[in-house]
Amino acid sequence: MTEPALPRAPVIVLVRPQLGENIGKAARAMLNFGLVELRLVTPRDGWPNPSAGPAAAGADIVLERAQVFPTLAEAVADCAHVYATTVRKRGVTKPVVTPEQAAREVHAAVGRCAYVFGPERAGLETEDVALARAILTVPINPEFASLNLAQAVVLCAYEWSKGASLAQPTAEELLPPASQEELEGLIGHFETALTPRNYFWPEARAETNRLTLRNLLTKPGWNHLEVRTLRGVLSTLEKRRPTGE
């Protein structure tokens, strides 16, 4: 797998992570949204960690390139914009932003940016937060403020990805929409199947019923395969049941 060439991609820094599984899950979350640069500050069980690979579910490029640092200061030494993720300010007066606000700032920033996440059990210490330029806080239920590490990474990475123009499914993968001719054929097929069963009765309501049916069938934006499937259903329903059933 080649590294995505994405502009202004933030670095993800995990400070004193405790479990290899959580590092792997964070790596998986990163790669889902186009982030590949992971930095670890004194992981509790050392690095590499054999538990990280299975949890990463294929995000090997992130784990292989992960760097380990003895201190947070060294991990973010090349970053001009550092966001400390925490649910509270911990006595440090700094600007407070949401993941969406942080993402906009990162895309507009000059210089490297980093999102810093604390250890699973207690989060970032006051000294860690003091190194940041801003505090990144997720709006969360105050009575249950309990995001796990990978969830926090997902939220921040997703908000950043919305401005990164990640590749979307191609037109071929989505299938082209049905042509008007195909839709008219489907509508006509419905009318042919329904007329003998008095669906358009009474006569005074026939035109209204036909218009409602047309609006219903043209609203979803069917592709040609879906139209063919519906017509196949109608053809099956129109067949007479074999004698003896």
With 60 as the cut, is the pLDDT of residue 172 above it?
A: no
Average pLDDT over residues 71-79: 95
DSSP three-state, residue 236: helix
* Axis crossing angle, helix 20-32 with helix 149-161, rounded to the nearest 10: 10
Mean of pLDDT values over 131-143: 88
Q: List, for residues 199-228, the tens digit of each pLDDT value.
A: 888 888 889 988 988 888 887 778 888 888
Most confident of 5-19, 41-55, 197-211, 217-231: 41-55
Evaluate the CA torsion angle 17, 20, 22, 23 in order and state its sign. positive
DSSP code per residue over 17-30: ---HHHHHHHHHHH
CA–CA dist 198, 240 (Å, integer): 18
Give the 3-state secondary structure of residue 15: strand
Cβ(15)–Cβ(72) below 8 Å:
yes
11-161: what fold?
A: Alpha/beta knot (3.40.1280)
Reading the block at residue 150, the tokens are: 């990978």
**Cα 137 from Cα 83, distance rounded (Å):** 9
* End-to-end CA separation in angstroms for the chain: 57
Of the segments 56-70, 89-103, 114-128, which one has the largest average pLDDT value? Answer: 56-70
pTM of the model: 0.68
Residues 111, 170 contacting (CB under 8 angstroms)? no
User: Looking at the predicted structure, is the pLDDT value of residue 89 above 60?
Assistant: no
Residue 191, pLDDT above cutoff 60: yes
Domain ranges of the chain: 11-161, 171-238
Residue range 125-136: average pLDDT? 91
Q: What is the pLDDT of residues 177-186, one digit of tens each?
A: 788 888 899 9
**Who wins on pLDDT, 189 or 6?**
189
- Is the pLDDT at 77 greater than 60? The verdict is yes
Q: 130 CB contacts (<8 Å, ≥6 apart)?
A: 92
Q: What is the pLDDT of residue 145?
A: 74
Averaged confidence pLDDT in the chain: 86
Statement: residue 3 has pLDDT above 50: no
For residue 88, the 8-state DSSP code is S
Residue 84: CB partners within 8 Å, gap ≥ 6? 94, 116, 124, 128, 129, 131, 132, 134, 135, 136
192-201 tens-digit pLDDT? 988 888 888 8
Q: Which of 79, 31, 39 is nearest to 55 (CA)?
A: 31
| Residue 1 confidence (pLDDT) | 43
Contact 35, 9 (CB under 8 A): yes
pLDDT at 44 over 90: yes
Segment 37-44 mean pLDDT: 96
Question: What pLDDT is attached to residue 157?
Answer: 95
User: For residue 4, is pLDDT > 50?
Assistant: no
